Amino acid sequence: MAYHITDGCVNCWACEPLCPSQAIQAAKPHFVIDAAQCTECVGDYAEPQCASICPIEGAILDALGAPVNPPGSLTGIPPQRIAEAMAEIRAR
């Protein structure tokens, strides 16, 4: 039971100070979660803290390997609407 950081990570530091288990370390090329220490915040918070502040879609995976923040979940624009949204924005 642990989260995992992918190479989508931009090393922005937002997650590191929030982890209640100090499971996140700054590393190269990107931050890493120590699987042995990660508790998925169970018992500390209702929602996993790293994934709740991470600004990059797909940068954090859950224990099953699924992105906690899938495409469109942070921009608010689902993938199938991208072209339409882009047209709206370009018309401004």
Partner 1 sequence: MAPTDFEETQQMAHQVTTLAPKPERATAGGCSASGCGSKPDKLAHLPEAIRAKVKDHPCFSEEAHHHYARMHVAVAPACNIQCHYCNRKYDCSNESRPGVVSELLTPEQAVKKTLAVAATIPQMTVLGIAGPGDPLANPERTLATFRELSAKAPDIKLCVSTNGLALPEMVDAICEHNIDHVTITINSIDPEIGAQIHPWIFWKNRRIKGVKAARILIEQQQKGLEMLAERGVLVKVNSVMIPGVNAEHLKEVSRVVKAKGAFLHNVMPLIAEPEHGTFYGLMGQRGPSHDELQALQDECAGDMAMMRHCRQCRADAVGMLGEDRGAEFTQDKIDAMEIDYAAAMQRRAAVHAEIEAKRQAQRAAPPQTPNQAFISVASIPRRRAEVPSRSASRPLRVAPLRVAVASSGGGLINQHFGHAREFLVYEADGRAVRFVGTRRVDAYCSGGDTCGEAETALAGTLRALEGCEAVLCSKIGIEPWDALEAAGIAPNGEHAMEPIEDAVAAVYAELSANGCPSEHVADAALSA
Chain residues in the site for partner 1 (CB under 8 A): 10-14, 16-18, 45-47, 49, 52-53, 55-56, 74-76, 85-86, 89-92
Cα separation, 55 vs 8, whole angstroms:
10
Nearer to partner 1, 23 or 36 (CB): 23
The number of residues making up the chain comes to 92
84 and 72 in contact (C-beta within 8 Å)?
A: no
* Nearest one of 72, 59, 76, 65 to 15, comparing CA atoms: 59
Least spacing, CB of residue 34 vs partner 1, in Å:
19
Cα separation, 62 vs 30, whole angstroms:
17
Least spacing, CB of residue 1 vs partner 1, in Å:
20
Least spacing, CB of residue 49 vs partner 1, in Å:
6
Nearer to partner 1, 17 or 79 (CB): 17
